[in-house]
Amino acid sequence: MTKSLLLGISLTSVFVVSMIISQSVMAGAPPGYLDITNAKLVESQKNVKMHIKVAGNTDDGIDPDTGEGFFGYAALTEDFNDVLAVTYHEPIVDSDAQPGWHSHVVDLTTETGCVSGLAVASASLGEPGHTIVKRNNILVNQVSPDDVGSFSGAFASFGLTVEGGEVCVNPVDFFP
């Protein structure tokens, strides 16, 4: 109980600090493509489905000339392990589902040198489900419940940066 409480407090602290840093860097409200307006995770015995809706168009985070972009969305788990995430990070290729939008199951760590205090510890190479991203809708379905952790009830949008060889997760917005 005490270990869980301390972990919860430390993870909450990371998110609070990350939100302060992210908001100060962005100087105001998040851009529409990172502003989550609605989100839900539906779990059954055979399938997990995540749907996130954002205020703007997801294409706004992608450079129209180069196709580059480094951001994503996630259904957070209670311990930051086996998080279901949808990412766009061209030109970096780390999945057999690229180029473009794809999903990962990731483990996050707070033991990092990232300014945000949050980094990717590991990520699946194969896509855990079927990913569809159109305008302001992000959908992942056909994910096995065995592949993802215990959902915390929170969703996040984030930017991705590389700092000192680590992939840093920079939270921008949370829902609810």
DSSP 8-state code for residue 149: -
Please state which of the ranges 16-20, 72-76, 125-129 shows the lowest mean pLDDT.
16-20
**Partners of residue 102 on adjacent β-strands:** 87
The first and second tokens of residue 147, run together, are: 């592949």
Please state which of the ranges 8-17, 52-61, 142-151 shows the lowest mean pLDDT.
8-17
pLDDT for 28 equals: 54
Confidence of residue 124 (pLDDT cuts 50, 70, 90): very high
Which single residue is written with the structure tokens 């909450």?
Answer: 12
Q: Coil, strand or helix: which one is 98?
A: coil
Cα gap 70→173, rounded to integer Å: 15
Would you mind telling me the total number of residues written for the chain in this entry? 176
Confidence of residue 110 (pLDDT cuts 50, 70, 90): very high
pLDDT for 143 equals: 96
- Average pLDDT value for the chain: 84
Cα gap 30→91, rounded to integer Å: 23
Query: 134 φ, ψ to 5°?
Result: -140, 120
pLDDT at 21 over 60: no
Cα gap 123→23, rounded to integer Å: 26
